[in-house]
Amino acid sequence: MGYSSRNIACSATKAGYNVYAIDAFCDVDLKENTVACQSLLTNEDIDIKDIDKRTILDLVDNFDVYPDAIVLGSGFEEMDLGDQSCKILNNDPVTMKQVSDKSSLAKELESLEIPHPLSGNVEEADEIGYPLMVKPKSAGGGRLNRIVHNEDELNTILEEITKLDPTLTSVDIMVQEFLSGFPASVSLIADGTCAVPIAANEQLIGVPWLSGLPFAYCGNITPYRTPYTPQMYDISEKIASEFGLIGSNGVDFLLTDAGPVVIEVNARLQGSLDTVEMATGLNLFDLHVQSFDGILPEETPDICQYAIRAVLYADKAVNVDEAFYGSIRAESIADIPAPGYSALPNDPITSILATGATREDVMDKALDINYRIRNLP
């Protein structure tokens, strides 16, 4: 279950499991790859942030099949389901809270002497120094991240963010030293003590041809070949060991002139799952399940090919009618919207998938698909 669980559910189905999914979108390919799926948004008046544990358990009961295991994806990874009799294949809620709160994570990383941007509460802005990145302390996908250069801009952005997400207050928002660099991530499998890096990924953040939001998560390219890869692997393994992470986890980096700097830890199956699987030929869900029995890959796998997942956001209001749906089904995509889906500007429409021998290959393929979808009537 998760805000968007398609990639996890499809991986689990490929691994041979009978999969039931709870998801905000219930895209066509999620329905096609599960025994059954249900929408988190049972009516238009429900906000996903208001969905509580009882609502989730009621949805699970609706399947009329009690699960052997539950896997929590994005948006629900901190939910405590420890009182359920089935297995919960996630990091425990205490660990999740520890790593998901970017403000407390910064303090932990500082104690471990792991490079991380100076971070603090809004009141510490002057002490950290401008320019600053302003962001929610937990989650967000980069959609609410903003850069500010002075106190007036900070106050304006705080007001803007709390209007965009009324559930947030200034206490839920942090400021962070703004650094320049290239966004990257490491995907790894851990057993609570040790970890094995699976791949380094290029992160697509705020890509103009995919999204109008400057820091929105727009997907990944795997592999990311950089001299910093061994250092990123070492840091990721240290973080996994220190926090006792288990299962599939990800560490986000910014590759600066001074080297890799840790931005955040995603202690759950990540959005890079598609590209990692396509690039390595592995099944990450299967590896995730095995890690809870203490079984890890023997070594970091070889890369078979390059792979891209490019999340395409609407640049205008888009209504998916039968003609639009028929056209996009001919493309290499995932997260396939069903006829009747409506996207406002900056809402996700679909994910473009491509593989190739080089980064240029996959980028060219993604650009071509993007052009065709953007120009549909």
Closest CA to 291 of 344, 246, 331: 246
CATH ID of 118-177, from 3.40.50.620, 2.40.50.100, 1.10.10.10, 3.30.1490.20: 3.30.1490.20
pLDDT band at 119 (very low <50, low <70, confident <90, very high): confident
- The least confident of 47-61, 95-109, 296-310 is 47-61
- CA dist 157 to 84, 141, 151, Å? 41, 17, 10
Contact 189, 211 (CB under 8 A): no
Residue 236 in 3-state DSSP?
Answer: helix
pLDDT class of 283 with cuts at 50, 70, 90: very high
Q: Output the pTM of the full model.
A: 0.92
Q: Can you tell me the distance from the alpha carbon of 368 to that of 366, in angstroms, rounded to the nearest whole number?
A: 5
Q: Which residues pair with 313 in a beta bridge?
A: 348
- Judged against a pLDDT cut of 80, whether residue 238 lies above it is answered with yes
Which amino acid type is present at position 206? G
pLDDT tens digit sequence for 170-199? 788 989 999 999 999 999 999 999 999 999
pLDDT value at position 120?
A: 86
- Roughly how many angstroms between the first and final C-alpha of the chain, as a whole number? 34
Q: What's the rounded mean pLDDT across residues 43-50?
A: 55
Which segments of the chain belong to CATH 3.30.1490.20?
Answer: 118-177
Architecture of the domain whose range is 182-374? 2-Layer Sandwich (3.30)
Residue 80 has a pLDDT of 92
State the average pLDDT over residues 126-150.
Answer: 86
Mean pLDDT of the chain: 93
List of residues 6+ apart from 368 with CB closer than 8 A: none
Asked whether the predicted pLDDT for residue 20 surpasses 60, the reply is yes
Q: What are phi and psi of 160, to 5 degrees?
A: -65, -45
